[in-house]
Structure 1
C-alpha cells in the first residue's frame, strides 16, 4: 500500500513530464506554488536539449529571416524600446504565462522561436547591458519556454559587439 508521500511524489513526477501549459493550474495546492526541486529537475532535463539548439551568428540571423519564425526578446519593455534586433517581438520574461505566450507565439506551438539576450553582446553599452554569465536571460527563457510546452526553440550562441548588428529603437513620443 502506498503511503501518502509516495502518492504525492508519483503525482509530482507525472506533472513534470507534462508541459506546464497542459497542467491543470486550478488543481495546484496554493501552498505549493513554488517548486524549486521541480525547476531544478526541469533545468537538468532541458540542458542537453538546449545545447543542441545553439545557433552560431550567421545561422541564427539566416533562420530569423525564414517565414513564420518568431524572434523573441524577453528583456524588459523599457530595454526593448531602447533597442532590439530588427524583427524582434517583446514579451518580458516576468510576463510569461500560458496565456501571454500563446498570444505572442500564436496557434502553432511548433513555430520556431529564436532567442537572444544581453550576454550575447560583449561591449556592455546601450541598448544592451551585460549581466552575470550565470544569470544570462537566455537560460531561464529557454527553460521556461520548454516548460510551457514550446520546444522548437533556438538560441543565439556566442558573443558579438552591439555595432555588428542592426538595432531598432522605438520612436519616442
Structure 2
C-alpha cells in the first residue's frame, strides 16, 4: 500500500508542462511564440474610432464581431458580422471572410465600450477579446486585421450601435 502511494505521489510530481504537451493537437509553446510574433504587428494596427469607421465603410472591408451569438444579437456595431471566437476554424473563417486572406478585417470587443453594461460588460484588460481575436486571425493567415483602439459609448449615435 505504501508503495502505491509513493507511485501516485511521484506521478503527481510530474511537471504540468510535460503533461500538457501529450496532446499533439494542442501547442501552447506555438501559441506563445505566435503571440510574441504578432505583438509588434498588432501594435501598428490599433486605430482610432474615426479611422475605424472610415475603414469599415470602404468596399470589401469586414467588421468582425467575435463575441458570443447572444451578445451580438443583444447589440453590435451596424454592419458587423458575427463569428464567435469559440467557432474559429480555418473553414468557418474562410466562409465568413471569403477567399482573399488580405481582406481588411476590423475588430472590436467589450473593452472598446465605456458602458460596462450588457451586452458589453468590461473584461479583464489582459483577457480582452480583441487580443485573442487578433492573434487567432493572424494565426489562421489573415494579416490585414485592424483593431479599434478607442473606448466609445454605445449610446453615441456616431458609433452606429444596433440594439437587439
Q: Which residue of 1 aligns with 2:140?
A: 148
Counterpart selection for 2:64 from 65, 72, 81 = 72
Structure 1 segment 33-72 matched on structure 2, within 5 A = 33-72=25-64
Q: How far off its partner does 1:169 sit?
A: 3.3
Q: Hey, what does 2:75 align to over in structure 1? A: 83
TM-score (norm 1): 0.79
Task: Report whether the alignment pairs 1:124 with 2:113.
Answer: no
Looking at structure 2, the residues matched to 91 and 31 of structure 1 have their Cα atoms a distance apart, in angstroms, of 26
Pick the aligned partner of 1:166 from 138, 157, 160.
Answer: 160
Structure with larger Rg: 2
> Cα offset for 1:101?
0.2
In structure 1, C-alpha distance between the alignment counterparts of 2:32 and 2:119, rounded to whole Å: 31
Residues 19-72 of structure 1: CA deviation (Å, up to 9, x unaligned): xxxxxxxxxxx8311111110000000000000001101000110000000000
1:96-135 equivalences in 2 (<5 Å): 96-135=88-127
Quote the Cα distance in structure 1 between the aligned partners of 2:124 and 2:114: 12
Give unmatched runs, 5+ long, in structure 1: 1-29
The residue matched to 2:23 in structure 1 has which SS?
helix
Secondary structure in 2 matching 1:162: coil
User: RMSD across aligned C-alpha pairs, in angstroms?
Assistant: 1.4
